[in-house]
Amino acid sequence: MIGTQRRACHLAVDGGPLLILAGPDVGLAPNGLSVDLASYVQLGDVGFRLGERVWLGSGVPPPDAAEWLVTLDSASTWEPRPSVHLVGPGDLIARVRGARAAAVAHGTGESLLPLLWMSESGADGPWPPLVRTAEGPARVLSKAAFRRDQKSVTEAARGLAGLGPGLTPSGDDLLAGFVAAWALVGEAMGLDRAACARVTAAVVAGGERGASPLGRAWLEHARRGELLEPMTRFVAVLLSEEPDDVGMAARGALAVGASSGTDWMVGFLLAASAMLDATPWKRPW
């Protein structure tokens, strides 16, 4: 056990992949397991501590092999990769506009949200230091991805990885959203998969050193189109054949963490906009 929170803890599997162990009231993660606990019980309350060992499986661990046993006998699985349908640029622009409106209205203020409109209003406004620092790399990232310039994509991602405080810094969340869009929106638009994969690989390479352990894990999952449960629901609605309320689905994703959902959405929308800029359609904002 390498990290603990009130409602979740982080497990390094034999020093390799990072898993999240959480209570049932925490949204599922692509690298997560939900433990059958009462919703009011926190993991720390039942004695989970840093450095303790957790045995995952159906059998009883050998003596002294672990302090905790998490059985998987009654476990069920879920699909962290949302279903994607082909969506025309005109329809997609309208849906992205709805998601952007939800982000502007409901996104967390202490986040990278101003990046969505800094290019229109200018970079000289009274922006917080974190936003000022992220503005240059984020702008380069979008333009370089649009041109399929892998080297510049990697350098820009390196400038965002690990940027900001928190378990998953704002820069990591933005990169995860950016990668998710190139993987999933690119598929919905019918873009060349190999070209999109080169962009996502360049972002992941840029975040390899600077991103947090959890940020690196989520980047790898996003590269495969695997997302947190609220983000999976949002993308499934956004890229469905007949979408329901895109704004409501976006608000669910925005509510993740203190600012993680907002920062993820900023990255997702920046990437979607970069892809739509390659079409003859004009964005209505």
- pLDDT tens figures, 177-236: 999 999 999 999 999 999 999 999 999 999 999 999 899 999 999 999 999 999 999 999
- In terms of domains, do 36 and 101 share one? no
Total-model pTM: 0.90
If we measure between CA atoms, which residue out of 204, 201, 218 comes closest to residue 264? 218
Residue numbers of the domain that contains 161 = 89-276
The per-residue pLDDT for range 38-57, each reduced to its tens digit, is 767 777 777 788 899 988 87
Task: For 56, list phi and psi in degrees, rounded to 5.
Answer: -105, 120
Whether residue 247 sits in one domain with residue 205: yes
Looking at the domain assignment, is residue 281 inside a domain?
A: no
Say yes or no: 139 and 9 in one domain: no
Number of domains in the chain: 2
225 shares a domain with 128: yes
Pair (105, 217) in one structural domain = yes
Q: Let me know whether 102 and 52 are in one domain.
A: no
Residue 78 maps to a domain: no
Report in angstroms the alpha-carbon separations of 15 from 18, 53, 59, 143, 261. 8, 12, 21, 37, 28
Q: Look at residue 24 and tell me whether its pLDDT is greater than 90.
A: no
Query: For the chain, what is the mean pLDDT?
Result: 89
Q: What pLDDT is attached to residue 285?
A: 47
145 and 34 within one domain: no
**Domain end residue (candidates: 18, 41, 71):** 71
Q: Which residue in 80, 75, 1, 10 sits closest to 36, CA to CA?
A: 75
Q: Are 207 and 158 in contact (CB under 8 A)?
A: yes
- Same domain (yes/no): 97, 65: no
Cβ neighbours of residue 113 closer than 8 Å, sequence gap 6 or more: 103, 104, 107, 262, 266
Q: Is residue 180 part of a domain?
A: yes
163 and 228 co-located in one domain? yes
My answer on whether 98 and 43 are in the same domain is no
Asked which of 37, 71, 105 is the last residue of a domain, the reply is 71
